[in-house]
Amino acid sequence: MEPKYFRSLEELKIDTRQETTDKPAGDRQFIFEMQQELKKSTTATRRDFLKVFGFTVASAAIASSCEQPVRKAIPLLIQPEEIVPGEANYYASTFFDGTDYCPIVVKVRDGRPIKIEGNKLSSLTQGGT
């Protein structure tokens, strides 16, 4: 089918009226042609979908596996008296789990908790967790 060129808007209006009268909406051939044109006009295929999906999965995997920059630990400029490097400190605390709580003792070395155990001095649990 060769392209049609119009010189004015009137010719376009006349041409569109003729096309609508030539092919009624209930004509089976007309419906079939419209379906064929619709299939040709859609460019998204299963193959394109799989390409895009694969790219997004690969980029997400690469983004999540990138190494984080190494952050240097800066020592304390003014060191508190109770902190001695390499020596553990013990702090009494409680663990709350929605409805129950448990008295605990937390072993902390260099500001990081390394062990949690039940508080033996507690009359409630007597060291059990």
* pLDDT, position 15: 60
* pLDDT, position 57: 92
* pLDDT, position 55: 93
Q: How far is CA 64 from the centre of its chain?
A: 11
* pLDDT, position 117: 86
* pLDDT, position 53: 93
Ordered mean pLDDT values, 10 residues apiece, the chain (129 residues): 75 64 62 76 78 91 79 72 79 82 85 83 67
Type of residue numbered 115:
K
* pLDDT, position 67: 76
* pLDDT, position 128: 62
* pLDDT, position 56: 93
Q: For Cα atoms 67, 71, 84, give the angle at the middle one, nearest 5 degrees.
A: 135
